[in-house]
Amino acid sequence: MHFKHVIAAITAIFTLTVAPLARAADYPKQPVRLVVGFSPGSTIDLVSRIIAEGLSRKLNANFVVENKTGANGILAATAVAQAKPDGYTLLVSNSSSITVNPILYKKLGYQPLEDLAPISTVLSVPFVLAINPQNPRTKNINSVKDLVNKAKAEPDKVTYGSAGNGNLMHLAGAQLATMSSTQMVHIPYRGAAPMETALLSQEIDFGFDTLSGVHLMKSGKLKPLAVSTKERWRDLPDVPAVAETGFPDFDISFWVGTFAPAGTPPEIIELLNREIAAVVQDPEIKNRLMPQGNILTQSSEEFISKIKTELGTNSELIMRANIKVEE
């Protein structure tokens, strides 16, 4: 081979090797949108804003949160799935949008592992089963047993809210009804914050609230009856797990994770995964995230495996509880 050809071949190989690194090194050159499918004030919204602030500082760029609410996160996930795969439009989602919607909805604008590229989980979050102690219908309820007994005495009268049809709040309420052999009425809202407002205004009897409602529980505006995971929540040490109240197999939580459109360059996915993992360990950021849940970061491969597992688990839960939604 002529010497010039050898040099050209070496140069081509070198270019192919360093080009991805250069592309990642140049990222981001412009503001990055973090699209959130749930309302301002929700756990996902709060976490998104904390992460956006941390990434903005770390990468010297603007990461901006954009709320696109409705349909249990479907609108936001669809928008990101259809966005240009250049790393400048990302999704911050809860597990409901990713591991429940594809099971419940036949007409979905995205498939999580085909149209989205998982980046990393950020948090794992329990729910807290709560009632309003000022509500005449629930003022005498002091335990999960009391709530179940009321539901047995009043079939199809006890109501619970959620952040939307198919949201894991919905599944948690349906799971409790199924395990207790009771008929309870589900009322969907456009996010966790509106559901919480409905609980405070006595529109519904109970709800599996997110940890953003803990301050309302500590102030006495809401009464926590149980935590949805098998472990108690550190900020509510006297509140039992549902599993301790006669339902040993009850264990439901949700995660908050980040995604890019499918086709986003792998080096950008890797960069974001690495930077998110670093951001959540920053002492200031960590202290702000801890009240919202347990910090959980994974590689994109581990995240993909987690999604596949939960799609199977949730499919079984939905079938047992006979949960259906109108499209």
- Residue 53, Ramachandran bin (φ over 0: left; ψ between -120 and 50: alpha; else beta): alpha
**Cβ contact 23:268 at 8 Å:** yes
Q: Is the pLDDT of residue 155 over 60?
A: yes
pLDDT in tens, 271-307: 999 999 999 999 999 999 999 999 999 999 999 999 9
Q: Find the angle CA(28)-CA(32)-CA(38) to the nearest 5 degrees.
A: 155
How much is the pTM?
Answer: 0.84
pLDDT in tens, 217-252: 999 999 999 999 999 999 999 999 999 999 999 999
Residue type, 188: P
- The more confidently predicted of residues 21 and 215 is 215
pLDDT for 130 equals 98
pLDDT for 325 equals 80
**Cβ contact 58:275 at 8 Å:** yes
pLDDT for 327 equals 63
- The more confidently predicted of residues 4 and 120 is 120
Average pLDDT on 144-164 reads: 96
Alpha-carbon span 298 to 17, nearest angstrom: 26
Q: Is the pLDDT of residue 262 over 90?
A: yes
pLDDT for 18 equals 45
Average pLDDT on 77-85 reads: 98
pLDDT in tens, 179-195: 999 999 999 998 888 99
